[in-house]
Amino acid sequence: MRFLIAYGIVSLLGASDDLAMALAGGVAFLPLLLSLATFLFGLPGGWGLYGELGARRPSLREKAVFEPVLAKLRRRGGRMPKAWFVIDDPVPNAQTLGRTVYVNSGMIGHPSLEAALAHECGHIETRIGDRLLALVRLEFPGLRVVRVYIDSIGWTITAKIVRVVSGGVSWELPILRSLWAAYFRRGEHAADRYAKRLGHSFELAEYLDVYERPLDGATPFRRGRSHPYAEQRIGRLLK
C-alpha cells in the first residue's frame, strides 16, 4: 500500500516512471529494513520515539538515585540497558523499547524500583524489547510521528487512517493483533522469571499486587491484552 500511494504521489508531481519507482520503493521498504536492522542488530530508539513518549533526559538527582540501582543489578549479572530516560508521570512504572528503558518519574526513589528494573532487564535479555521496537518501526517513521501527534489532539479516526497508510495496518488486524499480544504476554512471564533469578520475586509480586492487580479487568478472549493478569504473574513469582 505504501508503494502504491508513494508511486501515485510522485507520478502526479511529474517524475519519470523510473524515478517514481525508485522513490516509491524506498518509501515502501525503508521501514522494513529499519525493522529488520533493529531485530538483528539492536538499533536504539530514535528521537521520534523519544518525543512520542514525551521523555526527557534524567536530572542529576534522578541519576543519583537510579544509577546505583543499575550498578547493583549489574553486579548480580543483570543485562543493562543502552540508555534510560524519564517520563514525567507520577504512576510508578517503567517500560523497555529496544534496549532503552523509559522510567516514570514516580518510579524513581520508589521501594519497587530495583524489582521493576530487574524485570525490564529481563526484557532486554530476552530481546522482547528489540522485537517490540522492530514492530514499531514497521510504520514509516515520519508518518508515525504525525499519526501519534494527531491522535494526541483527539483526531482518532484520522490517526487510524494515517496508521494504515504508514504501514501499521498489520497491528490492527484482529488475528495478527491477538498473536502479537499472546507473544508479549509470554514475554512478560519471561521477564518476571529473570527478575526472580536476580532475587526480586517477592518485591515484584508486591508491586504487582499493589499497583496492577486492582486495575485488572476481564478481557474477552484476551483481545489486545499485552500483559498477563497480575494475579497469574504473582502466582508464578511466588511459586
Both 32 and 74 in one domain: the answer is: no
Both 71 and 109 in one domain: the answer is: yes
Instruction: Give me the percent of the chain exceeding a pLDDT of 90.
Output: 48
Domain assignment present for residue 233? The answer is: yes
Write out the three cell numbers for 138. 514497521
98-137 as b/e: b if 16+ CB within 10 A: bbbbbbbbbbbebebbbbbbbbbbbbbbbbbbbbbbbbbb
- Number of other CB atoms surrounding residue 188 within 10 Å: 18
Please report, as a single letter, which amino acid is at residue 25: G
18-27, 135-144, 195-204, 222-231: which range is least confident on average? 18-27
Both 114 and 180 in one domain: the answer is: yes
Q: Is 170's pLDDT higher than 70?
A: no
Computed over every residue of the chain, the mean pLDDT equals 81
Q: pLDDT digits over 86-100, tens only? A: 999 999 999 998 899
Domain assignment present for residue 167? The answer is: no
Query: Which residue carries 487510524 as its cell?
Result: 160
Over residues 31-55, the mean pLDDT reads: 75
Q: Where are the alpha helices (DSSP H) in 42-155?
A: 47-52, 60-75, 113-125, 128-136, 141-152
Over residues 71-96, the mean pLDDT reads: 96
Domain assignment present for residue 197? The answer is: yes
Number of structural domains found in the chain: 2
Distances (CA, A) of 106 to 7, 62, 92, 227: 47, 11, 4, 21
Both 17 and 72 in one domain: the answer is: no
Both 10 and 119 in one domain: the answer is: no
Both 114 and 207 in one domain: the answer is: yes
In this predicted structure, what is the pLDDT of residue 114? Answer: 98
Domain of residue 6: give its range: 1-41
Both 25 and 73 in one domain: the answer is: no
In DSSP terms, 55 is beta-bridged to 87
Report residue 111's pLDDT band, with 50, 70 and 90 as the boundaries: very high
